[in-house]
Structure 1
């Protein structure tokens, strides 16, 4: 095949997972195709046990490969490009994309699943993204049918997804649990400098690492700049924090960027804004960008992993 064959699969048992994944991997190995596995720990173990000798498979630990959507895109594009330049006419990759069943917020991974239809289109790639129905929320499964053109089944069928590209928006971002309380900082139309100063004051005494502190100050400055430059006033900046985690949000009355790739790759649109949204997506623990009836909101958070939104670094232990 040519181009990107983007396929999902829904399974409700370990046996069904293996019935879908093993033929996919074995087919790539049999035909001498570069074959990558980037699954969570449980599914990786299942595949290792079922495949036996698998020296030809490239394992990409899922917790590392799917740390952040922008990182995953950059990594995969480098890997696929290398195989294509080496003469590969078919590449296969199977991976567990993070979602709330793994303790990870979905919306930026939903954007990822949508964006790669364009970003991987130049490669001779068959990508399989299986989802465990025992732990995947219904709204995620609905988004997956919209972002994958094909659905594989445990019986060996490869069916067109009836909802692919139907135009309905993906799930909206979910506010962080810290936002249930009053913000520690609330500013209207602040300058980027004022936002940086407010964040620096608010995070004193927290347990953030030096890197996290730097990242959230930068994030506040950049998303305020983005709102003032590209949004519709008023631009409202807010900050919430606990001992180990900080969340900032900027809301304006506009519709947000028209480019669905904004933040996920260094697109032409983000170059004009100094690559800021893309840098946020590669440094912060979580970034969301969403529209609602009141306008457009960008959120970013750093620190902590036991409350609110956690990073995509979960071990991904599936339900039994």
Structure 2
């Protein structure tokens, strides 16, 4: 049975919390968590260390709220979806009629990585809709850029406010539309220089060789193997499913590698490509899903000139 503002709702009840003080955050989150505990619902917090400590201190001693490591949960968008879907399925199998979660993305998600995390916030409206989930995503207006806050309103159907107010967001855009928009991503600073390599219509083998030559031992062995797998999949996709020519560029520096692969095609038709697993081994979505699992950041850009995928190994810049 659903309780609280989600009573009578089917599927995912997705809300944002835009707060401007610690008191504002606690005024929304603490009643939400205590309501879940009172109803006997699985109730979880996925905050960074600072806000997790605030919430712990505000809850009664011994309150049975589970705390997840926010940094661990939100490492990569596709991995977060996979992890949460497994967690939610487990609670439903155990008989939960509703699950409550509060989570937050941190300032390091708001720079070059935001295009991927905005896609996450949009895609989960679909990805979690089979579960009786009620979640709140907290954003601190004191440190969150205005462009990010604008996307928050577009990717969350509702905003939760103090005194149990739950208001619809007039600018909410369904994921089937949001995810297919031509959304520019922030250029990584190392892309301002000349690429270390540029290839035209490379084979997957040639693409891997170029990455190895450019990398020069800057990444741990396991990380370079993951990037090579992602590059193989993305170049193969562009050759099979895209439109020629296929152009690949590699940049190195500041502890990371950036690889872009572009073709003249429109990109995948499925808006959830890369974020949700696919069952067909011949689908373009399988390669993108693999790339999302193994790269620290995957950026997608659609435009009149074609479709570009950007793979980053190593943390994306935060500016």
Q: Distance in 1 between the 2:122 and 2:249 partners?
A: 29
Matched residue pairs, number?
307
Matched, 1:263 2:271: no
Q: 1:78 to 1:48 in 2, by over 3 A?
A: same
Q: Distance in 1 between the 2:91 and 2:112 partners?
A: 30
The aligned residue for residue 293 of structure 2 is 282
Q: Distance in 1 between the 2:126 and 2:185 partners?
A: 22
Q: 1:28 to 1:243 in 2, by over 3 A?
A: closer
- TM-score, normalization: structure 2? 0.90
Contact 1:270–1:277 (CA<8 Å) still a contact in 2? no
Q: Distance in 2 between the 1:96 and 1:104 partners?
A: 17
1:47-62 matches, within 5 Å, as 47-62=55-70
Q: Distance in 1 between the 2:182 and 2:15 partners?
A: 18
- 1:68 offset after TM fit, Å? 0.7
- 1:5 offset after TM fit, Å? 0.3
Across the aligned residues of Structure 1 and Structure 2, the Cα RMSD in angstroms comes to 2.0
Contact 1:99–1:140 (CA<8 Å) still a contact in 2? no
Q: What is the DSSP-based 3-state SS (H/G/I as helix, E as strand, rest coil) of the residue aligned with 2:265?
A: coil
The aligned residue for residue 244 of structure 2 is 233
- 1:54 offset after TM fit, Å? 4.2
1:12-51 matches, within 5 Å, as 12-51=20-59
Q: Distance in 1 between the 2:242 and 2:88 partners?
A: 36
Bigger drift between 46-55 and 137-146 goes to 46-55
Alpha-carbon displacement from aligned partner over 1:65-115 (angstroms, at most 9, x marks no partner) = 111111111111111111111111111000003455666621111111111
Q: 1:52 to 1:102 in 2, by over 3 A?
A: farther
Q: What is the DSSP-based 3-state SS (H/G/I as helix, E as strand, rest coil) of the residue aligned with 1:237?
A: strand
Gap runs ≥5 in structure 2: 1-6
Q: Larger relative CO (CA 8 A, sep 6+): 1 or 2? A: 1
- 1:273 offset after TM fit, Å? 3.8
- TM-score, normalization: structure 1? 0.90
Q: Distance in 2 between the 1:273 and 1:6 partners?
A: 29
- 1:274 offset after TM fit, Å? 7.8
